Amino acid sequence: MSKIKIAVDAGHGSDTAGHRTPPMPSNIDFEKDGIIDVKKGSSIKEHIASVGVCVRLEEELKRNGFEVVKSGWNDAKATDDKDVALKTRQAAIKKAGCKYSVSVHFNAYGDGSSFNSAEGVATYIHSNPSRVGNSKKLAEYVQKNLAKGTKQKNRGVKTAELAMCNCSSLGTKASILVELAFMTNLHEATNLMGNADFWQECAEEICKGFCEMEGKTYIAKTKNDKPKTIYRVQIGAYSKLENAQKQLDKAKDAGFKDAFIKEDK
> What is the 3-class SS of the chain, one letter each residue?
CCCCEEEEEECCCCCCCCCECCCCCCCECCCCCCCCCECCCCCCEHHHHHHHHHHHHHHHHHHCCCEEEEECCCCCCCCCCCCCCHHHHHHHHHHHCCCEEEEEEEECCCCCCCCCCCCCEEEEEECCHHHCCCHHHHHHHHHHHHHHCCCCCEEEEEEECCHHHCHHHHCCCEEEEEEEEECCCHHHHHHHHCCHHHHHHHHHHHHHHHHHHCCCCCCCCCCCCCCCCCCCCCCCCCCCHHHHHHHHHHHHHCCCCCCCCCCCC
For residue 165, how far is the Cα from the chain centroid? 16
Q: Edge to edge, what strands does the sheet with 100-107 contain?
A: 67-71, 5-10, 100-107, 174-182, 121-126, 154-160
Residue 228: which pLDDT band, with cuts at 50, 70 and 90? Answer: low
**pLDDT recorded at residue 242:** 75
Contacts of 159 (CB under 8 A, 6+ apart): 124, 125, 126, 127
Cα 11 from Cα 2, distance rounded (Å):
28
Average pLDDT over residues 187-193: 97
**pLDDT recorded at residue 246:** 75
What the chain holds in terms of domains, given with CATH numbers, is 5-213 (3.40.630.40), 233-265 (no CATH)
Percent of the chain residues past pLDDT 90, beyond the cut: 82
How far are the Cα atoms of 101, 117, 162 from residue 127, in angstroms, in the given order? 16, 26, 8
**pLDDT recorded at residue 65:** 97
Average pLDDT over residues 146-155: 96
Cα 263 from Cα 265, distance rounded (Å):
7
Residue 243: which pLDDT band, with cuts at 50, 70 and 90? Answer: confident
**pLDDT recorded at residue 2:** 87
Residue 252: which pLDDT band, with cuts at 50, 70 and 90? Answer: low
**Above 70 in pLDDT, residue 179?**
yes
Which amino acid does the sequence have at 265?
Answer: K
Cα 226 from Cα 163, distance rounded (Å):
36
**Above 80 in pLDDT, residue 249?**
no
Residue 35's CB is within 10 A of a number of other CB atoms, namely 11
**CA 63, 173, 146, 178 torsion: positive or negative?**
positive
Among 42, 45, 47, 32, CA closest to 197: 32
Which amino acid does the sequence have at 145?
Answer: N
Q: Is beta strand 174-182 parallel, antiparallel or unpaired with respect to 5-10? A: unpaired
